[in-house]
A and B are shown apart, each in its own frame.
Chain A
Amino acid sequence: MSRQALLCALGLAAAVIYPLVAPNYLINIGMMVFFVAFIGQSWNIAGGFAGQTSFGHVVFFGTGAYTSTILQVTYGWNPWLAWPAAMLAGGIVGWVIAFLSFRAGLRGSYFALITLAFAEVFRILANSVPFTRGGLGMLIKADQRPINFQFKEPIWIYYIALALCVISLLIAWQLTRNRFGARLVAIRENEDAARALGIDVFAEKVKVLTLSGAMCAAGGTFYAQKYLYIDPSIAFGVDKSVEMLLVSMVGGAGTIFGPLIGSVALTAINEITRWLASVVPALKNVQPLSLVVYGIMLVLIVARLPDGLMGLFRRKPRHA
């Protein structure tokens, strides 16, 4: 067993044991860490591995959240069944956006901005059409039974988040060792060279966005089931897009563990500012402070540490 594999096994064991010993408050934080790492990984697969930076990834998240919620609330589906349907919807939206954007030859910033605009269109639509109940949002009736994807004990939702996170790590790990992943990296590094080497760049990019969209949509359903409420600004707001991008960039875009590390780091910052606010009365409004730190980190990382925090880990053993 290699050292990395051992570390992963230990990490996983710790994550499994953690909720058995931690109080509910900390279980919830752990759940959020894994959940954000999961949707961050969905961004990372497209934005990090394939280099297709998106500013509007929330469009997939919201599609997933609304699809499963509408199926459940309006059509009486079981949420477990609505979950794959939500992923399908997210995949389709990913496919359509990718097909249109990449057919038009959009790259780099232009692609980033058009995803933002798509998310905005979805947000406005969700705000205006009757079947989403507009700005009122949608409530899922509380009925805390596992068959309803609702749990009395936070430990279960924690384990689901952990499972999602592990699956996303396995997907990313596969990408570092299969042909599809190698092609995505080639596309990120140099599209022309990738084309010359026989890669159907358009098809691969559409594929990765479809996969990413489906994953992110799964996160949307999870979120809706956890909070039993969604509205257009939660489901399609720019904040979630930025969060996914941030955790990946901070942790290390295009790396397996980047989104997880980023999610841990951002949660830590969030908790520290929360704690600061409790001791320093002048800082009673916490949320902005942690966001200020995130923003500064984003600037510094893009400018100085392109592999994010993972870059720090990786560099050390080489010099040791």
Chain B
Amino acid sequence: MTTETPQQSPATRTEVPGIQPGASGEAQLEVVGVDKTYQARRGEVHALSNVNLSIGRGEFISLVGRSGCGKTTLLRILAGLLPPTSGTVTADGQSIWRGGKRNDEAFEHFGLVFQDANLFPWYTVADNVSLPLKLRGMGKRARRARATELCELVGLPGFENAYPRELSGGMRQRAAIARALSYDPTILLMDEPFGALDALTRDKMNLELQSIHAQAGATVVFVTHSISEAVFLADRVVLLTPRPGRIRSITPVPLARPRSLETETSVEFQTIVRELRHELDEE
């Protein structure tokens, strides 16, 4: 799990989609020529056009862009919730879509976190967190023990028996992350998980996500519209532009880890953020 992450590689940038300088190790998640068109009421919407991306094992990738640039669409395709119109996605060498059908086997090691926590209100935190384990047939005792462990990990100790409505927004999102981590996924897909949180909570969650990533060693694809959040977390930042959604650039973030809130005040950090913002404004 601890293959070399590309964070040490020199800060080379590509403007051409398709060539991936970042992934030095083996690619765990490979997106090749993915296209997505929707049949909307006002005709066809070209959501994604020829997206190519190769993500290394243990790498942290941020997808940024304006709303409507297709970043959520791309993540939903990666998560197997939406079939691509054309192109292929492979995880650990297995195609995740087989003729328009989701290949459930390939998703064994995927963890998903959405913008909303999406906890089931009829389950306690412990039952929510261990739901994936229940689906995998784990016994009640073992599930309970694992739930306690996970609550500890995400900073919710003692909340096992609370119901979701008794938690604050940040705590619910922590529980959702715990649920996604419950079966030790090697790929974690996150769609603006902290979008609904206030700035202070968000900073805190970012720090915690960083340490969880370091501990669990999973590959992470993180969708956000906040450039500084993207840069803070990622090994590489993938910038998407809309109509049709395509990859505009991929920027390595060679900042040392673990990063702290002071990192955000460093010159390197701010240079990368400024450049990315510039690029977004150019559209």
Q: Do A and B bind each other?
A: no
